[in-house]
Structure 1
Amino acid sequence: MVESVVSEAPGSSRVARRRDRRKAEIVRTATTLLSAQGYQGMSLEEVAERTDIAKATLYHYFSGKDELVGAVIEALTVDVNARLEAELDRVADASHLEQLRTLIREQVRILTDTAPEVATLFSWPKSWPESFDPMMKDSRRRHDAVFRRVVEAGMAAGEFDCPNADVALQCLHGVLNQSSLWIRPSLSGERRAELREAVVDTAARMFSPPSSGPR
């Protein structure tokens, strides 16, 4: 989920590519530790040990813990939004309702299946220093913008019966965040898939006209 932290230009040197790969490995390790232990529990010593480098070497890539955590937040934000945009491109010719359902489905899949660390760090974050508030708010704003674009287009087209987009989107994100608590890994694959579709159906009803009924 954090590969986007690496940016390998076509003409980049072998040394630069090796550095980028190591940087991505450090971010992946930090993501795992953050999701398991929270900000306070993650230490640079453990990150260095798990990536098999000296702690001093870690400072060649990141100036300190906060910069590394910031890289984790940014990488996850970029990756999640890229997945959502890819799904949106896939259904670009569909109705706005189907586009929204597709976004909801993919977000639930990310939170409960493909990248549960996103739920841990964003949906139910443990204590974060206040210095991260602007970064977290920016991450949520960029994520919300993907959904908002579809909702506002649906409203403009008269496809959505949504008196207040801000309220509806807040409710939607609340439902999506809760999905990681409902759809647990201990459930069977069939049951998890069933619950994901139930979330999609229920959440989408906040936007579709009452006359359209359930899908």
Structure 2
Amino acid sequence: MTDVASPASSRVARRRDRRKQQIVGSAVRLLAEHGYQGVSVEAVAEECDIAKATLYHYFSSKDELVGEALESVTLDVLRRLSARSEAAGPGAVDRLRALIDEQILILVEDTPEVAPIFAWPAGWPEQFAEPLKTMRRRHNALFRAVIEDGLADGELDCADVDVALHCLHGILNQTAVWLPGDADRAAGRAATTACALRLFTSM
């Protein structure tokens, strides 16, 4: 016979999940503002308005919390990029354009905390060096897969994918610094996307 969770236990689980998401979200914001060294368990607990001891019911250490915060940000970004790429259709140019535009939206408008967290170098301790590299590789792989598909079918043209990808991410990471204000932001995003696409086309 299959065990079925009671409504009370389901409510407790949902409440626990919400609290955990709140803690992770606060950790992400503090990481963006202050970097790894500026984040403490006490600061996260205070922002969440919970006791430090309560936070330790969810995470055993600062590093465990930071690791989950990094993974949460990575998964959110990858989900958004993947969904946008799939919605763009099969063409490599359209998919790449969608990826670039979505990345700008993420970095500039929707979740600007992503950029400082994954900036390089960012003063992270050694134990996070490899996880951060892995997260960047997972992100880069989405763009690379679309570009390689486009090169294979002749829709894209690029002499050196690695160099072009480095240039692309440089463009994306700096966009928030100079993109116009709200009134011109959509036009600025479109112009930036069009210029970035030229790294991979002969148009």
Q: TM-score, normalised by structure 2?
A: 0.91
Whether 1:39 aligns to 2:32 is: no
Whether 1:190 aligns to 2:186 is: no
Whether 1:181 aligns to 2:177 is: yes
Q: In 1, Cα distance between the equivalents of 2:190 and 2:84?
A: 16
Q: In 1, Cα distance between the equivalents of 2:61 and 2:12?
A: 22
- How far did residue 124 of structure 1 move? 5.7
Match of 1:27 among 6, 18, 24: 24
The aligned amino acid for 1:61 is Y
Q: In 1, Cα distance between the equivalents of 2:43 and 2:94?
A: 44
The aligned amino acid for 2:27 is A
Q: In 2, Cα distance between the equivalents of 1:135 and 1:201?
A: 32
Q: Which runs of 4+ in 1 moved over 2 A?
A: 10-14, 123-126
Q: SS at the partner of 2:73?
A: helix
Q: SS at the partner of 1:13?
A: helix
The aligned amino acid for 1:137 is K
Whether 1:48 aligns to 2:41 is: no
CA deviation string 1:62-96 (max 9, x = no partner) = 11111111111100000001001111111123x21
Structure 2, unaligned runs of 5 or more: none
- How far did residue 54 of structure 1 move? 1.1
Aligned to 1:98: 94
Aligned length: 197
Aligned to 2:81: 84
Q: SS at the partner of 2:113?
A: helix
Q: SS at the partner of 2:117?
A: helix
Q: In 2, Cα distance between the equivalents of 1:47 and 1:134?
A: 24
Q: Percent identity?
A: 53
- How far did residue 100 of structure 1 move? 0.5
Aligned to 1:59: 56
The aligned amino acid for 1:120 is P
Does the CA contact (< 8 Å) of 2:41 and 2:62 recur in 1?
A: yes
Structure 1, unaligned runs of 5 or more: 1-9
Report 1:61-210 matches (<5 A): 61-93=58-90, 95-123=91-119, 126-183=122-179, 187-209=180-202
Superposition RMSD on alpha carbons, in Å? 1.6
Q: In 2, Cα distance between the equivalents of 1:22 and 1:143?
A: 27
